[in-house]
Each structure stands twice: as C-alpha cells, then as structure tokens.
Structure 1
Amino acid sequence: MTAQAGTGRTNQKQRTRTAIVAAARELIATGAEATMPAIARAALVSEATAYRYFPDLPSLISEALAGAWPPPAEALAPLGDCADPVERIAFACEFLLRGVLARQGAVRAVIAATITRPDTATARPGIRFGLIDHALLPLEGTLGATDPEAFAQLKRDLAVVVSAEALFTLIDLCRLDPDDAIASAVRTATALTKAAVLTPEGPARPAGRRPLG
C-alpha cells in the first residue's frame, strides 16, 4: 500500500467517524430516542460499521454530547456574585433538568444501556457532579472546612436528586408533568442544602472564625 493510499484510507475512516458523531448529535437535538441502529441509518452506514468505531452506545453519545453542555462556571454565570448555596443549587438543579429534558431521548438510552451493562457507566458524562461542586463553592470555607464528611454527604445526597434518574421517576412513575417534576426536584435539592447549611449552632461559619458576641 502506498503512502497516499494509506492517507486516503485514514481520511475516509475519519470522515466516517465524523458522520456517525454528527448523526448522533442531530438525533439527540430532536429529543427522540437515540439508538445505534437509528444513528447508523442517519449516518448512512451499517450498524456493524457504527460499532466498529464505537464499542457501545454510551461512548458514542458521550462523544456526541462533548461541548453540548457548558462548563459549570459558564452554566451558573447568570447567578453573578450570588453566594447563597441554596439559591445556587436551585439554579443548578433546574439548569441540569431542563437540559436533560431537551436531550431526553439520548439520556434515557444511555441510562438504559448502563443499567444493563454497569461496566459502561464510566462513559456517562456526569454533568451533575460539576454543577453541584460549583454551586456549593461558597460552602467550601464553612461546612467543607468544619465538617468535610457532612459536606461530602451533602454532595452525594444532591447527586441523587439533581439527576436525570430523579426527573424520569417523577415524570414516569409519579405522573407529574415536566415543569412540576423539575419544581419538585428543585424543592428537594434546596431542602437538603438548607438542612446542611443550618447547623444546630446556626448557619455554618468559616473555619477558624468565632461568632460575634
């Protein structure tokens, strides 16, 4: 094989991969269910070809979603200099869940795939964790310093609520409409945050500082 032929083959592989990812992005944007057969059809390739480039659906969707979600700091930028962790977590929760709704076909497909194959769970984007961490930045010098385990537990608790799984439970099983489901999740997230912030001695204070008076 000549060098030119090898380069042409490499370029063709890259074009095929790009076409598959582009087809996945377009399908995700519609909110429709994202499956490997549907993506392959949209990319004008066989399903077997799609699997040669991506071993499973989560890895393909993860690449297709790369860049679709803004970084946490950018996502929470509308809050300005707000330092209230309760308000910040409420905003982060609604931001995530509305984004999930807009892409729910792909999100549901990834959740389903990783439930049956837990070994693929690492391919999930994990957007919630960055949003939660950034929303709780004002607590790093207070609760995070005085009680690191309680701070870590708060983040774990919030990861259950600020999630696609919670949203789909509220919509599918509790029969709430999407707006009511989001409002319910936001209320729960803010209640968890308030409970953690309001210690028995009052609001959490920066480590090393004593209350006045």
Structure 2
Amino acid sequence: MSSTVMQSPLLRSMGMALLLEGLLATTGVLLLSHQLLKAPAPAPAPQMVSLVAPEAAPTPAPPKPPAPMPRPVMHDEPHPAPAPHVQAAPPAPATPPSPLDTAAQSPTPPAPPPPPAPAPAVAGPSPVDVFAAQLRGAVQSAVLYPYALKQMGETGQATVEFDYLDGTLSNIHIAKSSTISAFDHAALAAVQAAPLPAEPAALVGHKHTYRVNVQFRLD
C-alpha cells in the first residue's frame, strides 16, 4: 500500500515534465514559422536579353527530278509518213427530188392473191357401173322365196356367176352355195327370169362376167 502511494507523485512529476517539453517544442515551431513568413522574398534574377537576331535556318534545296530513262532505239520500227492534207470538197447543193424519183421510191402495192383453184369435179359412176348395178337389182327383184323355207323361217345367200354379151346370159352357175339346195335353185332361176336393162354402147360386142349375191330374207 505504501509503495503505491510513493509511486504516484513520481509518475505525476514525469507526466508534467513531458507536457512542458511538448509545449515548448510547439512554441518553438510556431515562432520559427512566423519568422520565415516575415522574411523578405528573394529578388528575381536579372534576365539577359540578346540584341543579336537569330540566324535563319538554312532552307533545304528542292529534290532534283529523276532523269528520264533513255528510250530504246528500235531499228525495225517504221516511221509513219505524214498523211497528205486533203482539202474537203464543199457539199453539193441539195436538189429537190423529181416526180419520177418520188414514184420510184414509193412502195409498190402487193399483188392481189390468185383466185382459188376450182374444186375438182366429182366424177359420177360410169355407164358400165350403172349397168352392173341395174343388172344386180333386176336379179334380186326376180327372186322367188321357196315357200317351205319361208314358213320355216330359213334365210340364206347364194352367189351366182354368169356371162353377159349383147343382152344374152350364158354360163350361169353357183359360185358360192348357200348350203341349202332350194335357195341355190331359186337363185339360178332368178338370173334367168330377171328383166335385163339396156346395155351401154361401151358393152356392145364385148362379153363381161358378173357375180351377183342373191339374198333370201324374211323382211
């Protein structure tokens, strides 16, 4: 307890001493700063002005243009001859076109189209063909249908062939049978009974062979 009381005054005295030293140091710094602020500023150094004009910088010389390359000499190159001066002839005065020239230059009208060709005349049947058709019709009209076959409803066709010369029939025969003998006999009888048409002049004195299909129908 006594040691603690004895150390307290010592510590206080040391703290006071340190505080005084700090105050003195601060006061000295302030005084030094005040003196420095009051000190006169140093005079500026005298400037040296030169009266001699500065030398101009030398101007660089312009670059020299490159020397042209020598053109190679062509020994075989021909030199064109100067064209002769030709004086242009004055234009000829325009002359008005003559009526003949105007007519020659006018377009020629197109030629009219040719008329259409006449239609070929249709040739009619010859007299010989007309006679053959009439002869076949005469034979067919002279057919007598067998009664028994007609009652039975039988039909057929027989082909008859014969020669004709100046209104006379010869060599009458069956060229193709109807497979029914009654029809074949009736066909031969019709040729012999048929009224013959008048023959044309082209058949006079000439023999012709005809073939007729004799029909046996119920209609």
TM-score, structure 2 normalization: 0.20
In the superposition, the TM-score normalised over structure 1's length comes to: 0.21
Higher relative contact order (CA 8 A, sep 6+): 1
- Return the index of the structure with the highest Cα Rg: 2
